[in-house]
A and B are shown apart, each in its own frame.
Chain A
């Protein structure tokens, strides 16, 4: 007769091997029967055999045999539970099949940007105003220090109406507005200072179609008027705004320019994203790209709306939202915004 202790070890080794080989639930059940069956099970046989061992060894051998039995039971039930979990449930579905996605449309990318811009300025205490797209000559030009025959009118080639049309504010209109500045004039005619507003909207110019021009585009303009409003405030506000819109890592540059309705006038450049300021074709080898025009409101504009230009100072700015989109997202052609190709529209975040 073999040594019972080494028999226990043999049994354990054999069980390990058979358990490792058992790959299915029936295999595991067969293993269980082979070892644990009350009648004929190997472990049961072992326990019986221990009765024949010398009495002084029985407690130690009994302990070993019981530990073996316990191990076998635990490991078998663990493996059986595992196969249980792996077995498909009665109402199982193939979870890898596509789900039902509710339809969800996209805002237009220009709206997305406009909402962001409105969000930034609203946070800074600005009111958002809207106005008519059809304007009269006075509000679009004259009140803005652009009398008839002013050379600056060439800067904005205008689309004229064949005959006057009633505008959204009920006045007879003769032009498609070339900027949203007319709204600012209307606002100042209606409200006394202080003023802090932005005026977004569609504007029209007689520009032929090309990758950076369409005869209709979207603008946002801003106006601040008060008793102590300075060019430095304009610079500070625009820099806060542009860094929030384009990212804090972009460099900004504030440089003199000319607009008839502002004096002094300034343009803001942003460092070219394509080359990081190292000069490339995109930035015409300057490292900078112009993003907006601005300046201190011309006293003639204040006189036109009845504000005292001695007491009040103010600033204004204007930018094209399409241009922001081109610079921000690398859109190659402005016309894509008006083609409404869903493959284009669906690229932008909701």
Chain B
């Protein structure tokens, strides 16, 4: 709200320096967006949603009164003596939505406003229109009470009915837009139809014109939630709706009319015709809240001297009476009706704290009375993922959790429709990501377009699949397999690089994974594997690894001819399968091991995992490891066959193995490979 310094100074004696005024108010909770110095100095405050009373000069005058201990001077509220009464009938049909409605008829002479009034309105950011409308706006800016003026001759039947709109009723508002109304909209109607939307905007038909002679001045109080709903539904935010939806002062309507009458009189622009009509079916009494002295210190952490409490609260308009309720000495405080934000003791403590000064509070530290439980285990797991992947050369990316629907579809399980956002920013952010990979592929494309060929990125985060929200870690790799070096040609990343990282990552959690050939719509067939963990005879799915399908990569701007590898791991599965914390350290082997290398020729389609399985089942317990160290096809190996070289390591825990024992074991293994797979030893 734009507060004109001279106007404020009329209501309370503030320091002449506008910067000082702005600064002191900013320390009491009124953030200053800008200060304009000069002839018409203005402070632009950002008023928080709880303080509609401060969307006015009088509201900030009360704050200033509490700061500098100077009284508020109310403006002229004297009602001039009315002329002969003009008839009008005012009726509230829905007192829930309009608890109070005041109206008074004035005989007016419509003209433009005098210079001082125009200047004030313009400084406050309101466009001057004519003296009548300008007076209503002036009252709103000064006292915070929105007002409205109807041309009395345009009110059919000289009747104002405050009621819900009828279904199919329509109204053209002052901004010349015809608006459909409904049963939830509160309107001001005449005998025939709606002429204004209550608390939001008037209608164009009853607008003040140059020829207007008689007006009905409205000053009312509307239910905040109703005004807010109407304003949202119509997409119509006005100075009035902004104030009413935060909460109007039930006692302000007659005061607003009195102020308007005094101003019209001063401008010689009009005088009342007949008495003020005040419809207030269920009068309210101000709230009374008990404030315990001890509670102030307990909440603020500092004892505020007792005499400071009335000194702070009274200038703000609170009635303060020292009292003793039970064993708790304190004050019975009556809350002015414009303070819609104050209903509990804690609200009063905030008032005391604000004006006592947050800057004066000591800086202490809370007592730790009991230990807290351990932190969420997911945090530690995410950290380990980061440690392993950064050590493997991957940098961490963060990508948005939403993307366009067609880009999400290739990454969805069959038949799953990605979760849609009801009000997305745009189609680009329409659905929640079913996988971290599309975002990472985008990040690769971004870097690739910026002359970066060697890219390793990962992300941990939420994704949203058929089962709902879940967490994953994903990583992508393109370009060189190792940092380029002058000593050797660059080797490009391949399937076994990304698979190795996936295994290393799973291994960091004590999980041993197998790779099974699989298919995914977004990965290249034949270069796709499912990561599987075998436990207690069941195969658990841990994730997927493979080469990104060129068409999918190209759709996200990555060059189709370049190979891009990706893996994604389900962190919930990691949590379920990770090794437990109780570990017993193994003693180191006390006897030497014996190594035997074998080379066998088998069918080229025979999976390495099958060969290992045959070796395991044929070997004695002394076989401690199998390592493939060469795979050869070409001269000396028949077509369709492949030569595999394997290193077998044998060791016993209780004795030194003999060469003979190792040879016998090796022969047994070769024999088993021969009978199972027709393997020939080379």
Chain A residues packing against B (C-beta within 8 Å): 97-98, 100-108, 110-111, 115, 118, 122, 125-130, 132-134, 148-149, 151-152, 154-155, 159-163, 165-168, 170, 173, 176, 191, 194-197, 202, 204, 206, 208-209, 214-216, 224, 226-233, 235-237, 239-240, 253-258, 260, 263-267, 284, 286, 296, 298-299, 313, 337-343, 345-346, 350
Give the segment of B104-112, B221-229, B608-616, B639-647 that binds chain A: B221-229
Please name 28 pairs of A and B residues whose Cβ atoms are closer than 8 Å in the assembled complex, sorted by A: A100-B485, A103-B482, A105-B391, A106-B390, A106-B395, A129-B375, A129-B376, A148-B225, A159-B423, A161-B419, A161-B420, A161-B422, A165-B419, A176-B401, A215-B402, A230-B298, A231-B358, A232-B361, A232-B362, A254-B359, A255-B27, A256-B350, A258-B29, A258-B49, A263-B347, A264-B349, A340-B398, A343-B450
Q: Per-residue 0/1 for B431-448: is the Cβ within 8 Å of any A Cβ (1 yes, 0 no)?
A: 010000000000100110
Q: Supply 16 further A-B pairs (C-beta < 8 A) apart from A105-B458, A228-B367, A233-B366.
A: A130-B376, A151-B49, A151-B228, A151-B245, A167-B469, A206-B423, A230-B299, A231-B301, A232-B301, A233-B364, A235-B363, A256-B29, A263-B350, A338-B400, A345-B395, A350-B390
CB-based contact B29/A231 at 8 Å: no
- 10 shortest interchain CB distances as A-B pairs: A103-B393, A232-B301, A166-B468, A230-B301, A256-B29, A258-B48, A264-B350, A236-B363, A127-B372, A340-B443
Q: Per-residue 0/1 for B387-407: is the Cβ within 8 Å of any A Cβ (1 yes, 0 no)?
A: 001111111111111100000
CB-based contact A166/B467 at 8 Å: yes
CB-based nearest B residue for A315: B366
CB-based contact B49/A105 at 8 Å: no
Q: A105 and B396 in contact (CB under 8 A), knowing A162-B422, A235-B361, A258-B50?
A: yes
CB-based contact A165/B364 at 8 Å: no
A195-B94 Cα distance, complex, nearest whole Å: 46
Which of A194, A202, A228, A284 is the one whose CB lies under 8 Å from B298? A228
CB-based contact A108/B392 at 8 Å: no
B365 at the interface (CB under 8 A from A): yes
CB-based contact B400/A255 at 8 Å: no
CB-based contact A127/B399 at 8 Å: no
Chain B neighbourhood of A132, CB < 8 A: 469
CB-based contact A160/B423 at 8 Å: yes
Q: A149 and B228 in contact (CB under 8 A), knowing A103-B483, A253-B359, A256-B350?
A: yes
Chain B neighbourhood of A266, CB < 8 A: 358
B461 at the interface (CB under 8 A from A): yes
B370 at the interface (CB under 8 A from A): yes
CB-based contact B400/A107 at 8 Å: no
Complex interface residues of chain B between 410 and 460 (CB less than 8 A to chain A): 419-425, 429, 432, 443, 446-447, 450, 452, 455-458
CB-based contact B344/A299 at 8 Å: yes
Chain A neighbourhood of B299, CB < 8 A: 230-231, 264, 296, 313
Q: A110 and B398 in contact (CB under 8 A), knowing A232-B301, A264-B354?
A: yes
Chain A neighbourhood of B359, CB < 8 A: 253-255
CB-based nearest A residue for B297: A230
A236-B375 Cα distance, complex, nearest whole Å: 23
CB-based contact B443/A130 at 8 Å: no
CB-based nearest B residue for A118: B379
CB-based nearest A residue for B363: A236
Chain A residues touching B, majority SS? mixed
B462 at the interface (CB under 8 A from A): yes
CB-based contact B386/A107 at 8 Å: yes
A151-B243 Cα distance, complex, nearest whole Å: 11
Q: A254 and B395 in contact (CB under 8 A), knowing A102-B483, A128-B375, A228-B298?
A: no
B470 at the interface (CB under 8 A from A): yes
B31 at the interface (CB under 8 A from A): yes
What distance in Å separates the Cβ of A293 from its nearest Cβ neighbour in chain B?
A: 11
Which of A105, A108, A254, A284 is the one whose CB lies under 8 Å from B358? A254
Chain B neighbourhood of A298, CB < 8 A: 346
Chain A neighbourhood of B446, CB < 8 A: 339-341
CB-based nearest A residue for B451: A343
Complex interface residues of chain B between 18 and 75 (CB less than 8 A to chain A): 26-29, 31-34, 48-51
A194-B302 Cα distance, complex, nearest whole Å: 21
CB-based contact A286/B346 at 8 Å: no
Chain A neighbourhood of B369, CB < 8 A: 194, 226-227
A197-B400 Cα distance, complex, nearest whole Å: 27
CB-based nearest A residue for B475: A105
Chain B neighbourhood of A148, CB < 8 A: 225
Chain B neighbourhood of A130, CB < 8 A: 376, 378-379
CB-based contact B396/A108 at 8 Å: yes
Chain A neighbourhood of B353, CB < 8 A: 231, 256, 264
Which of B354, B374, B471, B487 is the one whose CB lies under 8 Å from A168? B471
What distance in Å separates the Cβ of B484 from its nearest Cβ neighbour in chain A?
A: 10
What distance in Å separates the Cβ of B418 from its nearest Cβ neighbour in chain A?
A: 10
CB-based nearest A residue for B389: A105
CB-based contact A165/B468 at 8 Å: yes
Chain B neighbourhood of A339, CB < 8 A: 443, 446
Chain A neighbourhood of B366, CB < 8 A: 196, 224, 226, 228-230, 233, 237
A208-B362 Cα distance, complex, nearest whole Å: 40
What distance in Å separates the Cβ of B476 from its nearest Cβ neighbour in chain A?
A: 11
Chain A neighbourhood of B28, CB < 8 A: 256
CB-based contact B365/A240 at 8 Å: yes
CB-based contact A165/B469 at 8 Å: yes
CB-based contact B468/A167 at 8 Å: yes
Chain A neighbourhood of B364, CB < 8 A: 230, 232-233, 235-236
A188-B381 Cα distance, complex, nearest whole Å: 24
A200-B241 Cα distance, complex, nearest whole Å: 36
Q: A226 and B367 in contact (CB under 8 A), knowing A105-B395, A162-B422?
A: yes
Complex interface residues of chain B between 196 and 218 (CB less than 8 A to chain A): none
A204-B22 Cα distance, complex, nearest whole Å: 33
CB-based contact A105/B51 at 8 Å: no
Which of B358, B424, B429, B469 is the one whose CB lies under 8 Å from A133? B469
What distance in Å separates the Cβ of A283 from its nearest Cβ neighbour in chain B?
A: 12
A267-B358 Cα distance, complex, nearest whole Å: 10
CB-based nearest B residue for A155: B49
A279-B62 Cα distance, complex, nearest whole Å: 29
CB-based nearest A residue for B481: A103
Chain B neighbourhood of A159, CB < 8 A: 421-424
B486 at the interface (CB under 8 A from A): yes
CB-based nearest B residue for A236: B363
A345-B569 Cα distance, complex, nearest whole Å: 23
A206-B423 Cα distance, complex, nearest whole Å: 8
CB-based nearest B residue for A152: B49
Chain B neighbourhood of A253, CB < 8 A: 359
Chain A neighbourhood of B373, CB < 8 A: 127, 191
CB-based contact A98/B50 at 8 Å: no
Q: A196 and B398 in contact (CB under 8 A), knowing A236-B362, A296-B299, A296-B346?
A: no
Chain A neighbourhood of B558, CB < 8 A: none
A257-B51 Cα distance, complex, nearest whole Å: 11
Q: A165 and B464 in contact (CB under 8 A), knowing A128-B376, A258-B48, A350-B390?
A: yes
A97-B487 Cα distance, complex, nearest whole Å: 10
Chain A neighbourhood of B361, CB < 8 A: 231-232, 235, 254
B520 at the interface (CB under 8 A from A): no
CB-based contact B301/A340 at 8 Å: no
B368 at the interface (CB under 8 A from A): yes
Q: A202 and B461 in contact (CB under 8 A), knowing A105-B390, A165-B419?
A: yes
A237-B396 Cα distance, complex, nearest whole Å: 31
What distance in Å separates the Cβ of A69 from its nearest Cβ neighbour in chain B?
A: 52
CB-based nearest B residue for A207: B425
CB-based nearest B residue for A232: B301
B300 at the interface (CB under 8 A from A): yes
A216-B459 Cα distance, complex, nearest whole Å: 15
B246 at the interface (CB under 8 A from A): yes
Q: A107 and B483 in contact (CB under 8 A), knowing A127-B375, A173-B469, A343-B450?
A: no
CB-based contact B375/A107 at 8 Å: no
CB-based nearest B residue for A201: B462
CB-based contact A215/B379 at 8 Å: no
CB-based nearest A residue for B27: A255
